[in-house]
Each structure stands twice: as structure tokens, then as C-alpha cells.
Structure 1
Amino acid sequence: MNVRLTVNFALRSDGTQFILSQRKLVDPTKAPGYKPIEGAPVPELRERWDDIGYYPLNAVGLHVALDSVRVRSAVAAADSAETLAEFMAVLSAETAELGAAINAAGSLDFTVKLGA
């Protein structure tokens, strides 16, 4: 199993656990030892997927992994939130977006209710 949950998160399984991965963009020009070479093209950004969580291969593990994506996405999206109400609005929006993405890809008799 290898499922892309959002633009920045993916869930896979190795048969014994769920593994949550997060997409990172790497800019080689920001590396501490980077020195531009005159006349050489600037290195391009590259994408890297880092494993950020391991969860049991059961319903509870799946729920916790999805909840982790929901909260991490909300925290990233709410960097300008100054009140708890603003953060809760972002969390609610991220919950709805993740639930809709999962339900759109699932079968007709399967729905996901995060936080239930």
C-alpha cells in the first residue's frame, strides 16, 4: 500500500505497520557548504519524502495516522493564527479537506469521520 493523502503527506504499509511520510523540498543552494560555481547552472529544488511516524497496522493505528496528518496540516496552514478560534477554523477546514479526499477515493459504502 502506498497512498498519497495530501500534497505533503503519504501513507504506506510494509505489512506490519502504517508509515506516515511528509514531503520536503530541498534547496541545495541553502546547504551550509554550498558554493556557486561560476558559469554552472543553479541546482534545482528536489523533492524528498521523510518518514515521520509509525503506527500499528490496525484501525486505531490508521485513525491516529490520519489524525496526525490533519493536525500537522492545520498547524502548517495556521502559521498566522493568533487566537484559538482561528486555529480551530483552520483545523476544521483541514479535517473537511482530508475527509473529502479520502471519501472521494474510497468505495461507495465507506466513509471516514475524523475525530468521531
Structure 2
Amino acid sequence: MNVQLTANFALRSDGAQFIVSQRKLVDPTKAPGYKAVEGAPAPELRERWDDVGYYPLSTTGLRAALDSVRFRSAVTAADSAETLAEFMTLLSAETAELVTAINVAGSLDFTVKLGA
């Protein structure tokens, strides 16, 4: 299983556990010791997927993995949030986006309700 949940998070399984991966952009010019070569083009950004969470292969594990994705997404989006109310608004928006993505991608006739 390898499922893209959002633009920055994916869920996969190795048969023994659920694994949440997060997309990161790597800028080689920000590396310590990088020196630009005169006349050469700047190196391109590259995409990397890092494993950020491991969860049991169970209903509880799947629920925890999805909760992890929605909280990580909300925290990332909440850089400008100054109050708990603003953070909760962002968390609700991330939850709605994740639920919509899961329901749209599902081929079975069921819907997902997180926290139910």
C-alpha cells in the first residue's frame, strides 16, 4: 500500500505497520560548505520523502496515523496563528481536506469521519 494523503504526506505499509512519510524540498545551495561554481547553473531543488511516523497495523494504528497527518499539516500551516482559536480553525480545515481526499480516492461505498 502506498497512498498519497495530501501534497506533503503519504501513507504506506510494509505489511507489519503503517508508515507516514512527509515530503521535503532540499535546496543544495543551503548545505554547509556549498560553494557556487562560477558560470555553472545553480543546482535544482530536489524532493525527498522522510518517514516521520510508524503505527501498528490495526484500526487504532490507522486512526493514529491519520491524526498525525492532520496535526502535522495544521501545525505547518499555523506558522501565522497567534491564538488557539486560529489554530483550531486551521486544524478543522486540514481535517476537512484530509477527509475529502480519503473519500474521493475511495472506491468503496463508505465515508470517513475522523474522531467518530
TM-score class, shorter-chain normalisation, is over 0.9
Q: Partners in 2 of 1:10 and 1:46 — Cα distance?
A: 17
The superposition leaves residues 66-95 of structure 1 with CA deviations (integer Å, 9 ceiling, x where unpaired) of: 000000000111111111111111100110
Q: Partners in 2 of 1:71 and 1:90 — Cα distance?
A: 10
Give 3-state SS (helix, strand or coil) of 2:18's partner: strand
Q: Partners in 2 of 1:76 and 1:5 — Cα distance?
A: 15
Instruction: State the identity as a percent.
Output: 83
Q: Report the TM-score when normalising by structure 1.
A: 0.97
Runs of 4+ off more than 4 Å: none
Q: Partners in 2 of 1:66 and 1:99 — Cα distance?
A: 10
Give 3-state SS (helix, strand or coil) of 2:41's partner: coil
Show the counterpart of 1:84: 84
Query: Aligned partner of 1:94: which letter?
Result: E
Aligned residue pair count: 116
Q: Partners in 2 of 1:112 and 1:33 — Cα distance?
A: 48
Show the counterpart of 1:56: 56
Q: Does 1:111 align with 2:111?
A: yes
Show the counterpart of 1:99: 99
Show the counterpart of 1:47: 47
Show the counterpart of 1:65: 65
Q: CA RMSD in A?
A: 0.8
**1:108: Cα distance to partner?**
4.4
